[in-house]
Amino acid sequence: MAKDFAQSLLAGDGEGSARLGWHKDQHVRTRLAIRIHAFLERHFPERRVFLKSDTDTRFVRLRSGTQLIAMTGMVAFVAWAIVATAIVLMDSIGAGNFREQAKRDQITYRARLNAISNERDARAEEALAAQQRFNAALAQISVMQSELLTSETRRQELETGIEVIQTTLRQTMTQRDGTRAELEELRQTAQDEGSTQMAGAAAPLQMDFLSTVLAETATERDQIEADARDALEQRAEMELELELLNERNDQIFRQLEEAVAVSVSPLDKMFRNAGMPPDRILEQVRRGYSGQGGPLSPLALSTRGEEPSADELRANQILNQLDQLNLYRMAAQQAPFASPVNLGLVRQSSGFGYRRDPKTGGRRLHKGSDFAGRTGTDIYATADGVVSHAGWQSGYGKLVTIQHAFGIETKYAHNSNLRVKVGQRVSRGDHIADMGNTGRSTGTHLHYEVRVNGKPVNPMIYIKAARNVF
């Protein structure tokens, strides 16, 4: 057969060539299969698993390929288990770290809130103390003003008394000089009459009359001299009292000037920090004032057309400063320097300016300040004014709007209950609404706005400016 196969190959038979290629391929495959089988037999020898029962015994033949497949499956399962376990552990570790970080952040946030709360309480105490000092200064100023007016009246009386005494003294001295001249004239007349040696019954009578006149004149002279001494002593006493009174007046003036300066300076600084020019504000208050009391009038102590004294000028200067202080107080009542809520019961959740909108997520101007608190928390008017709106307004929910002086308007939004009506006049500190969550809101809070001539401004500018004043 081989010979025939060789002959066919040598003859160039095409069929034989094909058969030769096929046989070569089969040979290669066989050798590869033998090698694989030998490898499997070497590492995975064929095994038999016997299954024995009470009546029969059987076995399962585990070939090398079967063992390989089983081993591969086990390795794959173990690898999957290891990877899955690692993923779970990594996730657990990451979640634990996140929770720990969240706890640490929460602790830090609470500590910060406590610090802010303590600082806020301290500022509130400082503001209360400043208010008490301010009220005490005003009371002292009022008492000192009364003392000043009383002292000035007493000084006038003393000056008048001194002038009367001086006039009386001058009259007394004139009378004394006249009496002395008359006495000297009478003596001269007596000497002349004695020299003529008048006789008769008329001489004794003339001498008696002359003696009587001389005695009366001497008595009157002595009385005038005593009155003059008393007048001089009284004048000295009154001059001493006037000097002491002037010193007392100077002390009162200094105390008044210091008290006025201490009271006016914080108010002036408060208005400047709030961006409100004091001169323009005071002039506007002066023009629009229509209540009782009004601006203080300067003193007019002189009625004789004389130039005012240094004390009069000093007193008028103090009265002008007191008038300025009074105008400052009236202006402060009409500007929103107070807080709309008790800062000890709330926290500021959002400030004025551009921020991420909690509803849409876009960048948007926040036109006020938000104070988060409990539902029903009292909300107060921050300045004197008139309620221009009290009701529902889209986005704001239940809204209170108050119109103040100087073109200022305040808004109090998202309330649960309103306690004022349109047209009602309110004063600073009046309870106008209760905190709520109405309108476009994500939680219970107060949205507080301040607008100047229709333009929103940061409300905290006013609150911070008055922190150490009220």
CB 115 within 8 A of CB 240: no
User: So what's the pLDDT on residue 101?
Assistant: 74
308 or 371, which is more confident: 371
Distance CA 382, CA 452 (A): 14
Confidence of residue 437 (pLDDT cuts 50, 70, 90): very high
Q: What is the mean pLDDT of the chain?
A: 75
Distance CA 155, CA 247 (A): 12
Distance CA 154, CA 241 (A): 10
Q: In 3-state terms, what secondary structure has residue 7?
A: helix
Q: What single letter denotes the amino acid at residue 240?
A: L
pTM recorded for the entire structure: 0.48
Q: What's the pLDDT tens digit per position in 29-51? A: 777 777 777 776 777 677 766 66
Q: How far apart are the two ends of the chain, measured CA to CA in Å?
A: 126
Q: What is the mean pLDDT of residues 232-237?
A: 74
User: So what's the pLDDT on residue 206?
Assistant: 53
Residue with tokens 């940061």: 458
171 or 349, which is more confident: 349
127 or 2, which is more confident: 127
Q: Domain coordinates of the chain in residue numbers?
A: 124-195+208-273, 367-465
- Cα–Cα distance list, 352 to 115, 196, 298, 306, 458 (Å): 22, 119, 45, 60, 6
For the domain 124-195+208-273, what is the CATH code? 1.10.287
Distance CA 254, CA 314 (A): 10
Q: Are strands 369-372 and 397-403 parallel, antiparallel or unpaired?
A: unpaired
User: So what's the pLDDT on residue 138?
Assistant: 65
Given a cut of 70, whether residue 158 has pLDDT beyond it is: no
Given a cut of 50, whether residue 75 has pLDDT beyond it is: yes
Beta bridge partners of 372: 347, 445
∠ CA 347-352-356, nearest 5°, is: 95
Distance CA 9, CA 20 (A): 9
∠ CA 328-333-336, nearest 5°, is: 110
Confidence of residue 280 (pLDDT cuts 50, 70, 90): confident
Residue 214 neighbours by CB distance under 10 Å: 15
Confidence of residue 380 (pLDDT cuts 50, 70, 90): very high
374 or 31, which is more confident: 374
CB 352 within 8 A of CB 366: yes
Q: Which fold has domain 367-465?
A: Glucose Permease (Domain IIA) (2.70.70)
